[in-house]
Amino acid sequence: MNLTRGIYIIGTDTGVGKTAVAAGLMCLLLKNQCHAAYFKPVASGVIVVDGVAVSADAAFVKVVSGFAQKPEQVTPFVYADAVAPHLAARMTGRPIDRDVIRISLDELKIRYDWIVAEGAGGLAIPLNDEGVMQSDLIRELKFPCLLVARAGLGTINHTLLTLGFAKSAGLIVKGIIMNGMGDSLIERDNVETIKKMSGVEAIFTLPVVSSLNTENLQVGNIGEVFERAVRFDDIISLMDII
């Protein structure tokens, strides 16, 4: 019987810190002896490592956590241009095949007990020109979600809208990470207001990490910061059987 557990890292928008959170979570799991894998079904934007173009996000997670697996299994669809998935697929003539994604995930589930998956952009981003959205893929893969949101002004609206869309799409958001958290009144109130209005109890705050740039593989001390901000027992409690 397959008992692999997983979580899907989603965001209120692009650039909110999904990859940094995924890397921090992978680092935390591996440090605690969990046999865990990173999975990003669709990735836009590459970096050249040892003469090979690979997903910049997957490369960042590898540098932070040490996780290494065949690129085609970790990121079955990688596009060079950092644009929306449906546009990248159209530009390259390589459409996103959900059967290929499912096969890659099934292979990882055979080898690993924990899967940290990461989305591309926001939930409502289309994966093809027929209107299939990222939310449809996540629902099909049966992952619960961990939502990454900005800590500052505007995040209440973005977060509540994303949670509402997730619910309408049949997704379960188990927790929220407020990324780039400071100590201003606005940021503290954002956390309390979102907790009260969303009903989501598991809300974590991740402070700003200096010298962090996922595109340039500048990792700063994201692993240490994540471990201080998020308790291991709390985070694994959000991960369901997939």
28-82 pLDDT, tens digit per residue, is 999 999 999 999 999 999 998 888 889 999 999 999 999 988 888 999 999 999 9
Q: 153: pLDDT confidence band, cut at 50, 70 and 90?
A: very high
Q: Tell whether the model's pLDDT for residue 140 goes beyond 90.
A: yes
Q: What whole-number percentage of the chain has pLDDT above 90? A: 92
Within 10 angstroms of residue 241's Cβ, the number of other Cβ atoms is 11
Residue in the block written with tokens 């509402």: 164
Torsion of the alpha carbons at 151, 156, 162 and 167, rounded to the nearest 10: 120
Give the whole-angstrom CA distance, residue 29 versus residue 99.
Answer: 28
* Residues 11-20, mean pLDDT to the nearest whole number: 95
Q: Measuring CA to CA, which residue among 103, 108, 98, 96 is closest to residue 67?
A: 108
Q: What sign does the CA torsion over 206, 207, 208, 211 have?
A: negative
- Select which of 40, 62, 109, 174 is catalytic: 40
pLDDT at 175 over 80: yes
pLDDT at 2: 67
pLDDT attached to residue 115: 98
pLDDT band at 149 (very low <50, low <70, confident <90, very high): very high
Q: Is the pLDDT of residue 1 over 70?
A: no
Both tokens of residue 123?
Answer: 């939930």
CATH number of 5-241: 3.40.50.300
pTM of the model as a whole: 0.96
According to DSSP, the residues that pair with 241 across neighbouring strands are 5
Instruction: Quickly list H helices, the chain.
Output: 18-31, 56-65, 71-74, 85-92, 98-111, 134-141, 155-168, 185-198, 222-229, 232-236
In one-letter notation, the amino acid at residue 14 is T
pLDDT tens digit sequence for 80-107: 999 999 999 999 999 999 999 999 999 9
Mean pLDDT across the chain = 95
Three-class SS state of 175? strand
CA 119, CA 84: separation in Å to the nearest integer? 12
pLDDT computed for residue 127 by the predictor: 97
User: Is 40 annotated in the active site?
Assistant: yes
